[in-house]
């Protein structure tokens, strides 16, 4: 068994090294050739298992793309690559590096704490350097993405769960008739049945065009938002991030007062996302107050955010019962469930890890169980972008950084194979 585990560790490290572009890591060759925000945070955790200095470098480079207003972009386009659309020419942003104009879940705040805890002596300097940029990113979220304390997305790509059923109704309100023609590149790499539809893409690009017209100026973008949905992913990852940033600040004697206020507001906001009809946390359209009625893997991030809710554990058990490999991005019972199309059914190592970590911290047996399921999934089906939740069949891109990182940082630690 140990030999199998060693071989998987070796392969995971090799994937991380192959996707390393010198200080930052791409998610996978071909499909995603740039630095993505939350992918990089997971990459940092993966590197921490074998090269802690390189782990901090990943986060430093991520924050070198931070905008003056505090936002940390969801993609940094370090070097041009015609294989991805929409690239820097479409976004036309004016940050310190070519970038997209939207953000992604701030898991990097929490992963910085994990890096620090593993090696406080090495972490002191980077924490002192990153603390203020991280605090400014939190302030940006609270200023431009908060609705009654819950954190919203202004583009489906911000959530990281890009194509989730959660956004269907809110997206239907956008009329993209004037979007014009464009050439998608994702379909050169992955089968169309696994990717978003043209209807979705028209709206994604339409929202990018709106941002570009407004010069990505946050106050202008906030007026008459066409899409603004409160998201459990954003709300719980920021809540956890703020807690961990407070902890880091206290370790290093840095100012944390404003973060305590943010945390209080986020805790109130999270409760506005509890949907009694599905007995779980749900996304909610901030423009009309409607819940989306979607049981996704983000519905179970509350523990990761620091909130225990026993009824949620019952809902989780029902969702997990028919499935061998963890929390699907959409419950099997949902009529929109699609096992291969990304974020509409498949299982992701990264979401299993966040949900599992939270459950482990609160002492639920489902936490270690999720870790084992994820370990066995990766051991038997490889380091794919995501997996069919019914049989584990790999899907999307291959040799994926965050799946390798999840193995090294969590799923492969203590896994029982065989």
| 32 in Cβ contact with 83 (< 8 Å) | no
Q: Is 168 in the site for ligand 2M8 (CB under 6 A)?
A: no
CA–CA distance, 180 with 159 (Å, rounded to integer)? 25
Q: In the block, which residue shows the tokens 């169980």?
A: 369
**Minimal distance, residue 6 CB to ligand 2M8, in Å:** 27
Nearer to ligand 2M8, 315 or 399 (CB): 399
Nearer to ligand 2M8, 74 or 113 (CB): 74
Kindly determine how many residues on this chain lie close enough to bind ligand 2M8 according to the rule CB under 6 A. Answer: 10
**Minimal distance, residue 220 CB to ligand 2M8, in Å:** 23
Q: Is 60 in the site for ligand 2M8 (CB under 6 A)?
A: no
| 164 in Cβ contact with 293 (< 8 Å) | no
Q: Which of 27, 88, 101, 306 binds ligand 2M8 (CB under 6 A)?
A: 27
**Minimal distance, residue 33 CB to ligand 2M8, in Å:** 10
The per-residue DSSP string of 164-195 comes to -GGGHHHHHT---TT------SGGGTS-GGGS
CA–CA distance, 122 with 16 (Å, rounded to integer)? 21
CA–CA distance, 119 with 291 (Å, rounded to integer)? 42
Query: Helix crossing, 257-271 with 232-252: angle to 10°?
Result: 160
Nearer to ligand 2M8, 39 or 360 (CB): 39
Q: Which of 8, 24, 32, 305 binds ligand 2M8 (CB under 6 A)?
A: 32
Using the contact rule CB under 6 A, the part of the chain among 35-43, 58-66, 122-130, 354-362 near ligand 2M8 is 35-43
What burial letters (b/e) apply to 14-24, b meaning 16+ CB within 10 Å?
ebbeebbeeeb
Annotated catalytic residue 385: yes
Q: List the beta bridge partners of residue 84.
A: none
Using the contact rule CB under 6 A, the part of the chain among 157-165, 218-226, 255-263, 287-295 near ligand 2M8 is 157-165
Q: Is 38 in the site for ligand 2M8 (CB under 6 A)?
A: yes
Nearer to ligand 2M8, 108 or 272 (CB): 108
**Minimal distance, residue 377 CB to ligand 2M8, in Å:** 17
Task: Please tell me which residue in 18, 162, 267, 290 is annotated as part of the active site.
Answer: 162
Q: Is 158 in the site for ligand 2M8 (CB under 6 A)?
A: no
Dihedral sign of CA atoms 61, 65, 67, 70 in order: negative
What burial letters (b/e) apply to 69-87, b meaning 16+ CB within 10 Å?
bbbbbbbbbbeeeeebbbb
Q: In the block, which residue shows the tokens 């945070």?
A: 41
**Minimal distance, residue 109 CB to ligand 2M8, in Å:** 16
∠ CA 67-73-76, rounded to 5°: 105
Q: Is 200 in the site for ligand 2M8 (CB under 6 A)?
A: no
Q: Is 162 in the site for ligand 2M8 (CB under 6 A)?
A: yes
DSSP alpha helix (H) spans, 272-301: none
Annotated catalytic residue 162: yes
| 315 in Cβ contact with 279 (< 8 Å) | yes
Instruction: Tell me the helices (H) and strands (E) count for the chain, helix number first.
Output: 17, 10
Footprint on residues 107-136 left by ligand 2M8 (CB under 6 A) = none
Task: Please tell me which residue in 39, 244, 334, 385 is annotated as part of the active site.
Answer: 385
Q: Which of 13, 16, 39, 70 binds ligand 2M8 (CB under 6 A)?
A: 39
Q: Is 157 in the site for ligand 2M8 (CB under 6 A)?
A: yes
Which residues of this protein are in contact with ligand 2M8, per CB under 6 A? Answer: 27, 32, 36, 38-39, 74, 157, 160, 162, 186
Give the residue numbers marked as catalytic.
Answer: 162, 385
């Amino acid at each position: 068994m140990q030999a199998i585990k060693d071989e998987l560790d070796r392969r995971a490290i090799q994937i991380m090294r192959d996707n390393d572009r010198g200080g930052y890591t791409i998610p996978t060759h071909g499909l995603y050739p740039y630095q993505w925000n939350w992918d990089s945070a997971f990459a940092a955790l993966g590197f921490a298992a074998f090269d802690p200095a390189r782990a901090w470098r990943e986060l430093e480079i991520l924050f070198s793309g931070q905008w003056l207003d505090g936002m940390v972009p969801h993609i940094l386009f370090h070097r041009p690559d015609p294989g991805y659309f929409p690239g820097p020419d479409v976004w036309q942003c004016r940050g310190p590096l070519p970038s997209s104009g939207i953000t992604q879940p701030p898991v990097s705040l929490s992963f910085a704490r994990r890096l620090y805890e593993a090696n406080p002596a090495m972490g002191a300097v980077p924490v002192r350097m990153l603390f203020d940029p991280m605090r400014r990113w939190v302030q940006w979220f609270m200023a431009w993405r908060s609705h009654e304390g819950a954190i919203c997305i202004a583009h489906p790509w911000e959530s990281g769960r890009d194509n989730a059923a959660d956004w269907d109704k809110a997206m239907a309100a956008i009329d993209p008739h004037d979007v014009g023609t464009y050439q998608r590149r994702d379909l050169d790499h992955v089968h169309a049945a696994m990717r978003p539809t043209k209807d979705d893409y028209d709206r994604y690009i339409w929202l990018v065009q709106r941002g570009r017209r407004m010069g990505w100026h946050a106050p202008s973008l906030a007026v008459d938002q066409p899409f603004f949905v409160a998201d459990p992913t954003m709300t719980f990852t920021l809540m956890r991030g703020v807690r961990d940033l407070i902890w880091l600040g206290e370790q290093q004697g840095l100012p944390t007062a404003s973060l305590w206020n943010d945390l209080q507001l986020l805790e109130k906001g999270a409760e506005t996302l509890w949907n009694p009809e599905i007995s779980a946390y749900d996304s909610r359209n901030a423009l009309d107050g409607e819940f989306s009625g979607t049981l996704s893997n983000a519905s179970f991030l509350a523990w990761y955010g620091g909130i225990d809710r026993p009824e949620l554990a019952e809902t989780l058990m029902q969702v997990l019962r028919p499935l061998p490999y963890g929390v699907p991005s959409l419950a099997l019972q949902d009529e929109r469930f699609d096992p291969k199309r990304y974020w509409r059914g498949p299982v992701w190592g990264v979401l299993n890890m966040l949900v599992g970590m939270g459950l482990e911290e609160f002492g639920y047996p489902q936490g270690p169980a999720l870790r084992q399921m994820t370990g066995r999934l990766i051991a038997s089906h490889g380091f794919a972008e995501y997996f069919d939740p019914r049989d584990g069949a790999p899907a999307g891109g291959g040799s994926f950084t965050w799946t390798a990182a999840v193995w090294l940082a969590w799923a492969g630690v203590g896994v029982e194979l065989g």
